[in-house]
Amino acid sequence: MEYIKKPVDIELRSFEIIESELGDKAKSFSKEHLPIVKRVIHTTADFEYADLLEFSEDAVESCIKALKEGGKIYCDTQMIANGLSKMTLGKFGYSAYSLVSDPEVAKEAKERGVTRSIVGMEKAAKDKDTKIFLIGNAPTALFRLKELIDSGEVEKPALIVGVPVGFVGASESKEILPGSGIPHIIVKGRKGGSTVAVSILHGILYQIYKREGF
């Protein structure tokens, strides 16, 4: 059977199809947001994300500024940390990490009867090098991070990507970001997930690449 075998051809053709099917809806996004919307659709094959993604005005620029200063990205799943392009992050002096599989985090979570996501987030948020947060799984991680910021224990980060997927708490957790003054990108409602979180950050990284090269 004949099939396209060249990676560059596949990627280009995919984005042409997405652009064509998005149609006029593409015009409702700014030039910083549209590449992110398209990349999320590329990752999920789900055009509903064009209606569900919401950006704070400063989200992309705040993230780009933070990336250029070096630092760390906290991910609420190991899959997100693993899915991010290490090579590209490395060029900015950035690394991505998750603590949900950390044995000490697991032990403390069990003792306290809370999710590992809560305990992992508490440790990550108190590390001043952690400037960007990607939350694709656990509403509890997002709730806890917001509590720590509101109470002043933790500074406002450069960006929160709030895209936990699910049926219990996911929608509600994402509603706490709009109006908070924290740079954020969210997926409204139940949808989201690890691959969505990765594609949002890649959608920002590729913009820097396009603007400036490396």
Note whether 50 binds a second copy by CB under 8 A.
no
> Which of 73, 100, 71, 92 is CA-nearest to residue 84?
73
Pick the piece of the chain touching a second copy (CB under 8 A) from 63-71, 77-85, 126-134, 178-186: 77-85
Find the binder of a second copy among 71, 83, 157, 203 (CB under 8 A): 83
Assigned token pair, 119: 């305990």
Find the binder of a second copy among 58, 92, 102, 114 (CB under 8 A): 114
Note whether 34 binds a second copy by CB under 8 A.
no
In degrees rounded to 5, what are phi and psi of residue 130?
A: -85, 110
Note whether 13 binds a second copy by CB under 8 A.
yes
> Which of 57, 49, 52, 73 is CA-nearest to residue 124?
73
Find the binder of a second copy among 82, 104, 155, 209 (CB under 8 A): 82
Note whether 153 binds a second copy by CB under 8 A.
no
Count the residues in the chain.
214
User: Measured from the CB of residue 211, what is the shortest distance to a second copy in angstroms?
Assistant: 26
Contact 50, 37 (CB under 8 A): yes
User: What are the residue numbers of the active site?
Assistant: 42
Helices (H), 6-69: 7-22, 34-44, 49-52, 59-69
**19 vs 129, which CB is nearer to a second copy?**
19
Site for a second copy in 163-182 (CB under 8 A): 165-170, 172-173, 176
Assigned token pair, 74: 């906290």
Note whether 115 binds a second copy by CB under 8 A.
yes
At residue 42, the 3 state secondary structure works out as: helix
**113 vs 213, which CB is nearer to a second copy?**
113
**8 vs 213, which CB is nearer to a second copy?**
8
Which residues, at least 6 apart from 17, have a Cβ–Cβ distance to it below 8 Å? none
Note whether 53 binds a second copy by CB under 8 A.
no
What distances in angstroms separate CA 135 from CA 96, 109, 207, one per listed residue?
A: 12, 18, 21
At residue 24, the 3 state secondary structure works out as: helix
**38 vs 131, which CB is nearer to a second copy?**
38
Edge-to-edge strand order for the sheet containing 94-97? 53-55, 184-187, 159-162, 130-135, 71-75, 94-97
Q: Which positions lie near a second copy, rule CB under 8 A?
A: 1, 3-7, 9-10, 13-14, 17-18, 42-46, 77-79, 82-83, 109, 113-116, 118, 139-140, 143, 147, 165-170, 172-173, 176, 189-195, 198
